[in-house]
Amino acid sequence: MTSLPGPHGIGGIGAPACAFIDTLRRMRLGVWQFLPLGPTGYGDSPYQLLSSFAGNEMLIDLHELTAEGLLRRGELSPLADLPATCVDYGRLIPVKTRLLARAASRFETRASAELKSEFDAFREQHHANWLRDYALFRLLKAAHDQRPWPEWATQYGRRDAAALRSIEAARAGDIRAIEVLQFLFYAQWRRLREYAKENGVRLFGDLPIYVALDSADAWTGDALLRMDAAGRPEAVAGVPPDYFSDEGQLWGNPLYDWPRHEATGYAWWIARLRAAAECADIVRIDHFRGFESYWSVAADSATARDGKWEPGPGDKFFEAVRGALGSLPIVAENLGVITPEVESLRSRHHLPGMVVLQFAVCEPEFALSQVPVDCVCYTGTHDNDTTVGWFNGGDRDTRSADEIRRAQTAVLTLTRGTPATVAMDLVKAAFSTDAQLAIAPLQDYLGLGTEARLNTPGTLHGNWRWRVTAPQLTDEVCDNVANAVTASGRESPHGK
């Protein structure tokens, strides 16, 4: 969502998102996949969220707040000089935070009676489940100069009940303002989802498997993690050396205490998946293999190289979820070090996996006919370079020159295309497979290079910033994609 066009330095879930749905219809695309929607912390990663349940306030559409009388148009002028082609989080966050606080402070006096009534219903539904704790967490985090909760004053970090009651009473107005912003986020999201449904576009969300240490989930203990009361993890999450990094990826998230989750009937996970299903029609679970076994790294390790595999919850988890929620439209991210046991778990629970053509084309004797029906076929993902960047190679590429040349030969042989058209050639290849769903990043539809890469795994800076501009979404681009959809026979029955 941050990558959408818009006037205020970041994509939003109001008019810019609805306009993008109009663009998807022109392209004859029926599914829109996006990254997690939660509030981000240090590093701005949507996979290191401050809450598994809250929405990212930075995505709230400010024009809608002016229409509701909570802001004046002139007050938005400090955002006017922010860049249109990337998100400058350092400049954006302080300014937009002040504007959102101003809007929330006016809610009681300027919001309509209908909006206030909707807020009361939202608060009643979510306050006890997650909203109160999230508001307290954000309030205390701000009071401690945004430091992680293990570094807060002891009475707050360890959730002393009397201390929490005291600050809740003293700062009731500030807590309510945080709750108002969450209501405004979800009110806008509900309208977006209704617009998508009216236009035949299914929303495809994303769920990180782990929670961040610096999150309301970890602070409350609801996520049932392997760490002590002071926030010191026994071990942390990551993956062993892989395509993206010779040192592996050290994510640093605390690990779940799966026996404790089992003892609760996986109640926290069921609530989390229910919330995700309320926001999207399809949900991808990131790092699915962690449910079969996960890479555990000592908390003081400098890299993920020296970890070990530990057993995940396996079948019991999915049986509990199905018993509580019924059949869920879940896609399993099964990339990386995948064993027969992982694939067997996925298959037993009828969860489609993923095939990424940037990886697959380099496999010996790969053919598009090998892509199974029960998967989502991608050209690349948010963690890959764009197809053009991947084809050309670059300074940050982990592959050798010989590996890049072999990939170039393989993709040109597979697609029977040319270097100049490689992005759309690979898109058409994905569309041609038997996979029940085929998806390409927007950058590939636009034919963009490495400059448009969204994330480079294993790096901390310069990620999650790319934005598309409205002039890039030309009639020619839309027609090219629409023609590819029609030629593949994949056209959505609702598309026009």
Residue among 41, 454, 449 at smallest CA distance from 216: 41
Measure the CA–CA gap between 310 and 78, rounded to whole angstroms: 50
Measure the CA–CA gap between 24 and 192, rounded to whole angstroms: 14
Catalytic amino acids?
286, 333, 383
CB 71, CB 99: distance < 8 Å: yes
CB atoms closer than 10 angstroms to residue 272 = 19
Measure the CA–CA gap between 162 and 168, rounded to whole angstroms: 10
